[in-house]
Structure 1
Amino acid sequence: MSDSAKRSKAYTAAGVDIEAGNQFVSRIKDMVKSTFTPGVATDIGGFGGLFKPDVAGMEAPMLVAGADGVGTKLKLAFMFDRHDTVGIDLVAMSVNDVLVQGAAPLFFLDYFATGKLESGVAEQVVSGVCEGCRQSDCALLGGETAEMPGFYPDGEYDLSGFAVGMVDSPKLVSGKDVSPGDVLIGLASTGAHSNGWSLIRKILTQSGLKNDDIFPGTDATVADVLIEPTKIYVKPVLELMKTLPIKGMVHVTGGGFYDNVPRILPEDTAASVEFGSWPMLPIFDWLKNEGDLSWPEMLQIFNCGIGYILICDCDSAESALEILDARDDVDAYRIGEIVKREPAAEQVEIVFP
């Protein structure tokens, strides 16, 4: 037994294995380093991560920060014993949020808490976090692994994440200039992303579908369809912004269309969304039918196939669609327009065929 193990013997007997935690950190070092970008000025294991941003060419650099979790989608990871995708979800939820204001993600911090550290599971989770960071050109600068005996059920854990990005103040996307005649461009989601999972789990239980069953309308298993990670929109959106002006952006998360779109609209405007202008993924048809839900209910809870929305002027819309269509990492659709808001009217109108 090492001297460190002897000194921490009492703590280990209480359920916290310091040695196992240290070994875990050692095993993930190379994985974490694979996310490092030129701004990283420290190694992992310090009390704080150091990052020196490149502000060359910026008039007034501004930091944009976001925090989020994965919610009860984690229950699916436990159920399916699949832990390599929820880390992507974790990164996606925060980097997509800071992207809304035009910020390029700089670095990410993660928090992993569990009752007993199972290194194999934890490594799978971190592998997903690293993959999400690579997809968004964002460094995993640090984090926390907390072993908390008696606090979580056996085999379960919780996650939270924190992203910091940067934007030049004159290029900040606020939505303040959105006006009638502007066009809504929707970017396709990969599924339900990380929202609505309490309802999805309830519907799944009622349906009787099993993990290995083929999901209706697809050739993939139930587990594969439901665990599909949240789409990260950072690279296509930042590339588009280099060419065309974007007036507003929306990350379609909890609250769906009705709650998220108004967050970036001026009070005197509304979004008119043409339902059916994008293809509906099988998961949403299934949720609607199995859950006995209306499409307005669905659009209040889920992204329904559109995970991110861009608002640009009418003259730029076709060019934006052409640029996005030329990429192989995103599907884009013209889904509506901005109109003048009538007195006392809602700021989102879904136009059904």
Structure 2
Amino acid sequence: MSSEEPGLTYAAAGVSIDAADAAVEAMRDLVASTQDRPGVLGGIGGFGGLFALPAGYREPVLVSSTDGVGTKLAVAMATGRFETIGIDLVAMCVDDLVCCGAEPLFFLDYQLLGRVDPDQVRAVMTGIAAGCRQAGCAIVGGELAEHPGLLAPGELDLAGFAVGVVERDAVIDGPARCRAGDVLIGLPSPGLRSNGYSLARRALLEAAGRALDGPAWDGAAHTLADELLRPSVVYTPAVLAAVRAVRVHAVAHITGGGLPGNLPRVLPPDLDAVVDLGAWERPRIFGEVQAAGRVSDDEMLRVFNLGLGMVLAVGDGDVDAAVAALRAAGQVPAVVGRLEAGQRQVRVTGVARRS
């Protein structure tokens, strides 16, 4: 190479430090909007996020969780709509924490990008900040990683990390607490949440050939993209309200694996969860996926939540108080089943009520 020829730069290799700096500035106000949560020390920009444990705990236990949003991101990328995907990211993490009875404290995100676009980053962070405000936790840090050649411009992947706290003697240990006769209370999930999107996309977009900008179904006033990007409910505040009102025996976050894959995680080996499929209304999108892909009932049950995003187990005498607390927190709970003697299985009865 002659002395007159310019040398390579990071930008020429596909990584823009200037764009990354601009993206951090573009999100600064969104991060700040979550930091009124007591315990936050300092702001973004340091090498680590600092958080002081809340006062008043006798024996605090930290609970951690990490998750992503799966191929729901493919819909966001196909439509260029990123404003709500961050809510899903937060929900997937904090709603795992609350299954242990933990109150979320802080959240961090990892964004892997083909090219840092400050506007796209801000759109993603808009949802993350909204989810954290709903959950009552603070954003204390994160990472933007630009990987040209691995991802194309506009492509991204997300991971979230959340930490919460619970008193040691208040940890919700389902296998130790659950008893035969306990009642199952379900909280509604109005859409697909963030699970089963690979099957949903294959059925709706490929097998049925539907367009994202077309109606969600015949007569729908919203598009298929609107439906598939419907943000996840953040259940944490409602579950914590129930925990304060009664002794909750177990909490199961119904994500990948559906009811059969998640309810057994909180059961002792000698109990079954008996769930009445007719106890709640199944959102129409599930029927659309099933019909488009000719998916069996069993496959639907083990892939999707079918309209229940969270299930709580409480003693029979605490049902009314738990339901009242959940309603006061903005949820529409439904009694969906009971625990009976068995072998840590999920048994379904009844016929689904489709909207």
TM-score range, shorter chain: over 0.9
Matches within 5 A, 1:334-349: 334-341=335-342, 345=343, 347-349=345-347
Aligned structure 1 segments of 4 or more residues deviating by more than 6 angstroms: none
Aligned to 1:42: 42
- CA displacement 1:65-121 (0-9 Å, x = unmatched): 000011111000011111011111111100000110000000000000112111111
- CA displacement 1:239-297 (0-9 Å, x = unmatched): 12111110000000000011100001000011000111001101011112212123222
Q: 2:162, 2:324 → 1: CA distance?
A: 30
Q: Secondary structure at the match of 1:304?
A: coil
Q: 1:321, 1:127 → 2: CA distance?
A: 32
Match of 2:258 among 244, 256, 259: 256
Q: Secondary structure at the match of 1:247?
A: strand
Shift of 1:209: 1.8
Shift of 1:236: 1.0
Q: 1:326, 1:148 → 2: CA distance?
A: 45
- Letter matched to residue 68 of structure 2: G
Kept in 2, the 8 Å contact 1:16–1:149? The answer is yes
Aligned to 1:5: none
Q: Does the alignment pair 1:196 with 2:196?
A: yes
Structure-2-length-normalised TM-score: 0.93
Q: 2:162, 2:73 → 1: CA distance?
A: 20
Match of 2:292 among 290, 293, 299: 290
Q: 2:8, 2:25 → 1: CA distance?
A: 21
Shift of 1:9: 7.4
Q: Secondary structure at the match of 1:108?
A: strand
- Letter matched to residue 51 of structure 1: F
Q: 2:18, 2:143 → 1: CA distance?
A: 15
Q: Secondary structure at the match of 2:163?
A: strand
- Letter matched to residue 48 of structure 1: G
Q: 1:299, 1:48 → 2: CA distance?
A: 41
Q: 1:214, 1:308 → 2: CA distance?
A: 28
Shift of 1:235: 0.9
Q: 1:179, 1:302 → 2: CA distance?
A: 27
Q: 1:249, 1:231 → 2: CA distance?
A: 16
Aligned to 2:311: 309
Kept in 1, the 8 Å contact 2:115–2:152? The answer is no
Kept in 2, the 8 Å contact 1:256–1:299? The answer is yes
Aligned to 1:139: 138
Structure-1-length-normalised TM-score: 0.94
Kept in 2, the 8 Å contact 1:74–1:158? The answer is yes
Aligned to 1:350: 348
Q: Secondary structure at the match of 1:276?
A: helix
Shift of 1:10: 1.5
Aligned to 1:3: none
Query: Relative to 1, partners in 2 of residues 1:87 and 1:242: Cα closer, same or farther, differing over 3 Å?
Result: same
Q: 1:200, 1:115 → 2: CA distance?
A: 25
Q: 2:325, 2:49 → 1: CA distance?
A: 36
Aligned to 1:213: 214
Aligned to 2:90: 91
Aligned to 2:64: 65
Q: Which runs of 5+ in 1 are unaligned?
A: 1-7
Aligned to 2:53: 53
- CA displacement 1:289-333 (0-9 Å, x = unmatched): 212123222110000000000000000012212332344x32210
- Letter matched to residue 148 of structure 2: P
Q: 2:45, 2:318 → 1: CA distance?
A: 47
Kept in 2, the 8 Å contact 1:180–1:269? The answer is yes
Q: For the aligned residues, what is the CA RMSD? A: 1.4
Kept in 1, the 8 Å contact 2:273–2:344? The answer is no
Shift of 1:346: 5.6
Kept in 2, the 8 Å contact 1:190–1:229? The answer is no
Percent identity, please: 41
Q: Secondary structure at the match of 2:50?
A: coil
- Letter matched to residue 191 of structure 2: G
Q: 1:117, 1:301 → 2: CA distance?
A: 33
Kept in 1, the 8 Å contact 2:91–2:232? The answer is yes
Q: Which runs of 5+ in 2 are unaligned?
A: 1-6
Aligned to 1:281: 283
Query: Relative to 1, partners in 2 of residues 1:212 and 1:268: Cα closer, same or farther, differing over 3 Å?
Result: same
Q: 1:209, 1:55 → 2: CA distance?
A: 53
Aligned to 2:3: none
Kept in 2, the 8 Å contact 1:31–1:127? The answer is yes
Q: Secondary structure at the match of 1:48?
A: coil
Q: Secondary structure at the match of 1:30?
A: helix
- Letter matched to residue 330 of structure 1: Q
- Letter matched to residue 189 of structure 1: S
* Greater mean alpha carbon deviation, residues 212-221 or residues 253-262: 212-221
Q: Does the alignment pair 1:247 with 2:246?
A: no
Query: Relative to 1, partners in 2 of residues 1:326 and 1:26: Cα closer, same or farther, differing over 3 Å?
Result: closer
Aligned to 2:332: 331
Kept in 1, the 8 Å contact 2:105–2:136? The answer is yes
Kept in 2, the 8 Å contact 1:16–1:147? The answer is yes
